Structure 1
């Protein structure tokens, strides 16, 4: 038995494609203690952490601000004031190695006492 072809009673409307509603982006959350001027002061500096046998100390292009690990937690970071310039290798050693906590703290404290006057001089000149 032969059936009749399927036909629509009403014609199809022409579609213009998917209509997307505009997506509103939220402003980034302000982190307490975020001071870009302290991070900018680390740019172009030498490594101050200087773990033994880890970096070349001078002229390393991978220098970034390394924040103090004491007082941080999941989703938390200490104030940018407590950061020192560190090369990639020293920063990774400080953050991710199995070195005991006392050695890491002593190294950071030593670096910070040397960096703080240099940063104050650099920021005073700006």
Structure 2
């Protein structure tokens, strides 16, 4: 049985037979602007740059100074906006090294221990960032 290839429609935008200008609008691709999301705050993420690791997980964190792998570690609690594939609000971030951040997100430690470690780091970080402790994040019993 002999098979034939796919037949291309002559006016399809994906056809090599159609001139490029036909499927572009005024010679440019129309781009949508992204919506401003309420939970995104670049200032909070940028504040984590050039900081030390505030999670400092025992036996995980290399405690290097200066830290070269600092990233903002978001809270994993639904009370801070986390849900499904959505990250928590950028307000709830802590500067963390690569290793502590991986432990927080992919590690096999119990969730209450991860929550307790993140909250301790957040308390210390909020003192440095704002000069006061954020009262919306309260201590939990482990």
Q: Under a length normalisation based on structure 2, what TM-score does the superposition of the two structures give?
A: 0.68
Q: How far apart are residue 17 of structure 1 and its match?
A: 4.6
Cα offsets for 1:37-77 (capped at 9, x unmatched): 11111100000011112122232211010000001122322
Find out whether 1:106 has 2:116 as its counterpart: yes
1:94 deviates by 0.2
Residue 105 of structure 1 deviates from its aligned partner by: 0.5
Q: Point out 4+ residue stretches in structure 1 off by more than 3 angstroms.
A: 15-18
Q: 2:37 aligns with which of 25, 31, 41?
A: 31
Please tell me the root mean square deviation across aligned C-alpha atoms, in Å.
Answer: 1.8
Q: Which residue in the other structure is 2:5 paired with?
A: none
Which one of the candidate residues 67, 83, 96 is aligned to 1:86?
96
1:73 counterpart residue number: 83
1:55 maps onto 2:61 in alignment? yes
Structure 1 position 112, deviation (Å): 0.7
- Structure with the greater alpha carbon radius of gyration: 1
Higher relative contact order (CA 8 A, sep 6+): 1
